Structure 1
C-alpha cells in the first residue's frame, strides 16, 4: 500500500490590492482632487486606514507638489473663502471661511496653510483649513513696536517640499528716518519654534512718479500677497517708492528691485510667477473709447 506525500501548500501570492505597499503606491497616483482620497477611503476599512494616515497624506502632497489643484482663494480683508472648482471637488465656502473677529488680516495662503495677522493681540496664526489645526505665533520683538504704531506688516507662509514643518517670513518698511528708510524681515521656523534675527536692506528715497507726494511712506503693499519664485519671495512696494522687495530664502537676505520707469505710468501691474519658474509681471491696461454722437 503506497502512501501519498502531501506537501504543504505555499501561500498564494498577494494581489496588488492586498499588498499595503503596492496599494499605497496606487493610491498615491490618484488625481490630486479633494474627492480622490475621501472616495478611496469608502472602499473598505483597510483603504480608509491608509488614505487617512497623516504620513500618507504628506507623501500624497509631496507627490503632487508640482501641480497642486487650486481649491480657491481667501479674501484678504474678511477672510472669506472663494471656491474655484466644480462639483464633486468644489469646497463649500463656509468649510474654509475663517472666523477670528473684526481686526484680522489674511496675509496669504500656500501649501495648504493660511497666514493670518490678528491685529487685536498682535499675534499671527498659521491655520490648516482642512484639519482645523492652528499654530499661534507671537510677533517678533523687533517688529512689535512697529506693529503697535500701525505699521503695515506683510508676510508669507510656506513648507519645504513635503515637510510637515513650515516657515513664516514677515516683512515691513521702516520709515522713521526719512533719509535712511529700510525694509525689515524676520523668519520663523515651526521646527525650532523661534524667530531669527532681523534682516534689513536700504530703501530708495526717490521715485519719479511720486515726487509730488514726498511725505508718503514706503509700504510693503498689504493688498497684494507674496509670490514665491525660485528660491525667493517677492512683495510689491508702494508709496514713496514703487518697486519689488525680494527675500532670498537660501541667503536669508533682502534686496530691492526697481521697476522699469515706463511701467510706473500704467494703472496696475502685479508680480507673478512666470512659466519657467522665474519672476514676471502682469500688466493691466485700462482703455476707454469716446463716441462722437454729433
Structure 2
C-alpha cells in the first residue's frame, strides 16, 4: 500500500457576528429616548457603563428628549421679584437639579422647552437664552425701544427636531405695547436675526408681566385690563381673544393662561377657595366658547368654622403660574407657595417654598439625569 498523503484541511471562517443593537450608539440612543423622562428613570441606565452615561448626559440627547416627550417633568420654579430671581427645586434627592441650575444671572422673563429667557435690567436691550441643565447660553440683542412703549413681555420656544432645523435651535417671541397698540417680532437662532415687525390692527391694552401660554403655533399673553392677545407664529398675525366670562372675582384677574387638553387654549381661575379650569372649545358651528371643565376645592386653606376672615387687599389664594404641560399650578397661600396637581383623579398639594407678596413664578420643566452634579 502506498503511503497516505495528508492534505491541508480548509479552514472554514465563521460569518462575522452582527453588532448587537446596544452596540450601535444611534440605535441605543433611540431606545434610551423612549424611557420615561423622570430623572431617576434616566439615572439607572446611566450607571450601566461609561458609554451609556456619556450618551445620556450629552446635550444633544437632552434636546431630543425634550422634543420627543411632550411634557417633561417639572424640576422647579424661578421665583421672580422686582429686584432678583432665584431657582427653587421641587424634587427630592436624587431628583434635584444640579447646583449650577439654581444660579440665575438675572430674573427670567419666562421658561419653556428646557430653557429660561433672561432679560437685562433696566430696559429690554438684551435677552439671554439659558439652558440651566447644560449651561449653554446665547445672547439675543434688541433694538432700543421708543418712548411710547409702556409694557413688554417675551417667551422662548424650542424648534421641533426633524423640520430641517439644527438640533437645539430656538425662537424668541417678543411683544411690546403702547398708545393702545401691540407689536411683536420673532427671533430665530437659525438665522441669528429678528423677523419682520408685526403690529396688531385693533387697539388693545398693555401686556402684563405674567408668563405666556403656547398652544400649537400660537403664543397667548394676558392684557392688563382684561382680554387675551394671540400671536400666531406661522401666519405672523395678531388676534384678540375674550377671556372666560366668569373668570373674574373680587380680586381682578386672578388667572393664568395655559394649554388645556386636546391642544386648545385654557385658563386657570382662582375664586376664593376654588380653582376653575376652563378650555376654549369649538362648537358645531365652529365658534369658540369657554367651557368650564374642572373645579378643584381649595377649602383646606379656608379659616376654621366660626373664625371671621380678616379683610385683605390680596386674594387668600393667588395663582402664580402653570407648568408648560398643564399638569401643575403654583399657588401663593397662607402656608407659602404650593404646587397643586391638576389631575382630577388624584389631586395632590405640596408646599415648595415660602411666599412673597410681590413675586411671580416661572415653572421650569426639562429632561435631566438624576445625580448629574458636575
For residue 77 of structure 2, what is the aligned residue in structure 1? 73
Work out whether 1:193 is the aligned partner of 2:197: no
Distance between the aligned counterparts of 1:11 and 1:292, measured in 2? 81
1:252 to 236, 250, 255: 236
SS of alignment partner, residue 75 of structure 1: strand
Q: How far is the alpha carbon of 1:49 from its aligned partner?
A: 4.0
2:134 to 131, 134, 138: 131
For residue 84 of structure 1, what is the aligned residue in structure 2? 90
SS of alignment partner, residue 63 of structure 2: helix
1:113 to 108, 112, 115: 115
Work out whether 1:169 is the aligned partner of 2:173: yes
Larger relative contact order, structure 1 or 2 (CA cutoff 8 Å, min sep 6): 2
Q: Hey, which bits of structure 1, 4+ residues long, moved more than 4 A?
A: 35-39, 202-205, 287-293
Distance between the aligned counterparts of 1:45 and 1:265, measured in 2? 56
Change (3 A) 1:183 1:292: closer
Change (3 A) 1:197 1:38: same
Q: In the alignment, is the contact (CA less than 8 A) between 1:74 and 1:106 conserved in 2?
A: yes
SS of alignment partner, residue 171 of structure 1: strand
1:221 to 189, 193, 208: 208
For residue 242 of structure 1, what is the aligned residue in structure 2? 226
Distance between the aligned counterparts of 2:18 and 2:307, measured in 1? 83
- Could you tell which deviates more after superposition, 132-141 or 184-193? 132-141
Work out whether 1:285 is the aligned partner of 2:271: yes
Distance between the aligned counterparts of 2:13 and 2:117, measured in 1? 61
For residue 151 of structure 1, what is the aligned residue in structure 2? 150
SS of alignment partner, residue 66 of structure 2: helix
Distance between the aligned counterparts of 1:51 and 1:264, measured in 2? 46
More strand by share: 2
Superposed CA offset, 1:62-111 (max 9, x none): 222x131111221233321122223322225x4322443xxx54211001
Distance between the aligned counterparts of 2:56 and 2:126, measured in 1? 34
Q: How far is the alpha carbon of 1:271 from its aligned partner?
A: 1.6
Query: What's the Cα RMSD here?
Result: 2.8
Distance between the aligned counterparts of 1:193 and 1:152, measured in 2? 25
Superposed CA offset, 1:140-194 (max 9, x none): 34xx234xx783211110112134211101112112xxxxx11111111111111
Q: In the alignment, is the contact (CA less than 8 A) between 2:131 and 2:137 conserved in 1?
A: yes
For residue 270 of structure 1, what is the aligned residue in structure 2? 256
Change (3 A) 1:126 1:253: same
Superposed CA offset, 1:39-79 (max 9, x none): 53443333244334444333333222x13111122123332
Distance between the aligned counterparts of 1:182 and 1:58, measured in 2? 36
Q: TM-score, normalised by structure 1?
A: 0.78
Distance between the aligned counterparts of 1:291 and 1:48, measured in 2? 58
Q: How far is the alpha carbon of 1:132 from its aligned partner?
A: 1.4
Q: In the alignment, is the contact (CA less than 8 A) between 1:127 and 1:133 conserved in 2?
A: yes
Alignment gaps of 5+ in structure 2:
162-166, 274-301, 309-374
Superposed CA offset, 1:7-44 (max 9, x none): 11222333333343432232222221234555534433
Change (3 A) 1:26 1:99: closer
